Structure 1
C-alpha cells in the first residue's frame, strides 16, 4: 500500500468513526437531540423527523466510507452533510448566538464556539480530500486490510473498548453526583453540617466592607450600568458572576431569569457575564434580568469572584452583605435566606 492510499484509508476510517459515534449519540439521546434542534431554531414540526433523519444519514455515510467501491459516494455525502453543519454553526456564531449542542455524540451539551467551527472545518477538509480523488481512484478495501493487520485490528478494538468504558464511567459519575446532591439536601434539611465545612474560610470580600463600584455595558442597549444605578431601587442587589464558556452557568441562566421574575421589587438581580472580545449577543427578553458584559474579569477580580458561577449580596447602602456563594445550590440558598429578611425589615419599618 503506497503512502497516498494509506493516507486516504486513514481519512476514511477517521470520518467513518466520527460519523458513527455521532449517529450513536443522537440515537441514544434522542430527546437531547430534539432539544438541540430547538436551540438551533428548527421548527417544532420538523424536529422529530430530523432527530431520526440526521443519525440515519450519518450511519449511511459511515457505511459507504468503509466500502472501497462506494468510498467516493460516501465522501460526497460526508462533505455535503458537514458543509451543512458548518454553515449553520457559522451563521449562528455570526449572529452572536451560542446554542448548546451535543455535537458528534459528546456526553454533555456545551455552547458552540470557534473550536466547534474549527473541528467541523477540519472534518470537512478530510471529506474534501477524499472527494478530490475522484470516482476513478482505487481505494483500498478496509476489511481485508484489517484482517491482514492483526495489530491494527487489536488497536481499534482496544480504542472501542476504551470509548465504551469511558462512556459508562461518565454516566456512573453523573449518577454519583446526583446522589451526593440528594444527600446534601437531606443533611441541610436536618441541619447537619458536613465536617469539612467547619474549617472552611469565608470566601469573597469582607462582610460590611464597601462594594467596589463599576460601570459595564448592558446587553440589549449597550448603555453603561453602574452599581449606584442598580441600588437606586432601594433594595439589595444580588450580583451573579458568570462566564460565556461555563456550562454550569449556562444551565443556571433560565433559573436566574425565573428568580428575577419571582422576586422583582424585593431584590435586584444582575448577572456580570465574562465574554470574549467583540462577541455579539442577541437582545434579551423584556422580562429577563439585567446582564452586564465584562471582557477581562476586571469586576469579578475586584469582588474576588473569579470562580463561576458565584454570587454576592450587596446591600441597598452599598456594602457587602454576604460571603461569596459558589455554585447554583449556594447561590439559591443565599437568595432564599435574603428574601425573608427583606420581608421582615419591611414589616418593622411599617
Structure 2
C-alpha cells in the first residue's frame, strides 16, 4: 500500500464538506438549481435543499473518520453522488442550458460548462480510486498513521496546490460597486450599469442589423431594430426556451421585471419554442415574447439559454451575452436601481 493514496478520500471529503457548508445558506438557489437540472418535483422541496448540503457534510466527515466495511459503504455513496453530479451537469451542457449549479454556494455563480464536466469527472475518478486502490478500507486515520516525513511533505504540497487551484477557479476578481455613466449620444437617454460585459463607449458598439426579423405573437414579422429604436427605450433582450429548466425562473419573472423597470426600459423575450408551448407554460411572458429566434441567436452568439443582452435605445449593442437565471436577475435589478437613482437625481419643478 502507498500511504499517499490517502489523498483521494481526503480530497473527496474536503470537497463534500466545503460544498455542503457553502450551499447550506443558499437554500433558495439550491431549489432553483433543482428546477433547472430537472430534479423530480417531489424533491423540489425546502427540506431537500437542507438535506442535500447536510448530507454532503456528513458524508465527507464519515470519509475522514470511518474504516473497514463502513468506510467502503460511505466511499461508494460518495462515488455514486459524484457520478450523479457528473451526469446531470453533462446533460445540461449537452442541452446548452445555462444552469447555475450552486455547487459551492455563493462562490459559484457561473453557469455549468465543459470545465464543470471535467472537474466533476476528475472528482468521480478520485472517488472511485478511494474505493478500489489498495489499502483504502483501512480508512484515512489508519493510513495517516503509516505516513513518513516524506509522505507528509508530499501530502502538504499536494493539498496546497489543490487549494490554490480550487480558490483560483471559484473566487472571482473583486468588482467595484456598480456605478453609472451618462452617455450624451443621441438616442441614448439612460444610464448604463457598469458590468463586466458593458460596452460603455458608444463608438465601440456594433449596430443591430436593420434586417434582423422576429415573429410577433400574432404571426406578423417585426424588425428587431424597430422594436428597439422606435420606442427609444433601453432593451433587455432575453433568449429563453420552454424546454430549458433554468429558463423557468426568468420567464416567470418577466412581467414583474417589466413593471419594475417602468417606462425606462423594455424586455423582449426571443424564443424558438412554439406559441402554444409558451401559452401553456408561461402565459405571463407572452406579451413580451417574439418567436423565430434562430437568426437572432446566431447573430448575437447566444450559445446557451437563458441569455441576456443589453441593447441601447440608439439601436446599438451595449453588452455581450450573459448567461444564467441568477446573473440575469442581478443585471435587471442593477439596471432598475440605476434608473431609480437617475430619476431621483433629476431636478423637480
TM-score interval, normalised by the smaller of the two chains: 0.5 to 0.7
Shift in CA distance, 97/126, structure 1 to aligned 2, threshold 3 Å? same
Figure out how many residues of one structure are paired with residues of the other and give that number: 290
Alignment partner of 1:37 out of 5, 29, 34: 34
What is the TM-score when the length of structure 2 is the normalising length?
Answer: 0.56
Task: Please give the alpha-carbon distance, in whole angstroms, between the structure 2 residues aligned to 1:13 and 1:136.
Answer: 11
CA deviations on 1:10-51 (whole Å, 9 max, x unpaired) are 222221121121121123434433443354455477522222
Higher-RCO chain (CA-CA 8 Å, sequence separation at least 6): 2
Report the CA distance between 1:151 and its aligned residue.
3.4
Judge conservation of contact 1:239–1:311 (CA < 8 Å) in 2: yes
Judge conservation of contact 1:23–1:55 (CA < 8 Å) in 2: yes
Segments of structure 1 that go 5 or more residues without pairing to the other structure are 188-192, 194-199, 276-281, 301-307, 315-319, 340-350
Task: Please give the alpha-carbon distance, in whole angstroms, between the structure 2 residues aligned to 1:220 and 1:16.
Answer: 52
1:285 aligns to 2:282 (yes or no): yes
After superposition, where does 1:1-350 map in structure 2 within 5 Å?
2=2, 6=4, 8-40=5-37, 41=39, 43=41, 47-66=45-64, 67-69=66-68, 70-93=70-93, 97-105=97-105, 107-133=107-133, 141-145=142-146, 148=149, 149-151=151-153, 155=157, 177=176, 180-181=177-178, 202-203=202-203, 212-215=209-212, 226-227=223-224, 230=227, 235-236=231-232, 238-240=234-236, 257-260=255-258, 269-270=267-268, 285-288=282-285, 289-290=288-289, 292-293=293-294, 298-299=299-300, 309-314=309-314, 320=315, 324=318, 332=336
Mean Cα deviation higher: 283-292 or 323-332:
323-332
Report the CA distance between 1:76 and its aligned residue.
0.7
**Matched residue SS, 1:56:** helix
**Matched residue SS, 1:212:** coil
Segments of structure 2 that go 5 or more residues without pairing to the other structure are 183-190, 192-199, 241-246, 302-307, 321-330, 344-349
Task: Please give the alpha-carbon distance, in whole angstroms, between the structure 1 residues aligned to 2:248 and 2:46.
Answer: 25
Report the CA distance between 1:78 and its aligned residue.
0.9
What is the TM-score when the length of structure 1 is the normalising length?
Answer: 0.56
Task: Please give the alpha-carbon distance, in whole angstroms, between the structure 1 residues aligned to 2:217 and 2:332.
Answer: 25
CA RMSD of aligned residues (A): 5.6
Task: Please give the alpha-carbon distance, in whole angstroms, between the structure 2 residues aligned to 1:63 and 1:219.
Answer: 55
Task: Please give the alpha-carbon distance, in whole angstroms, between the structure 2 residues aligned to 1:252 and 1:330.
Answer: 16
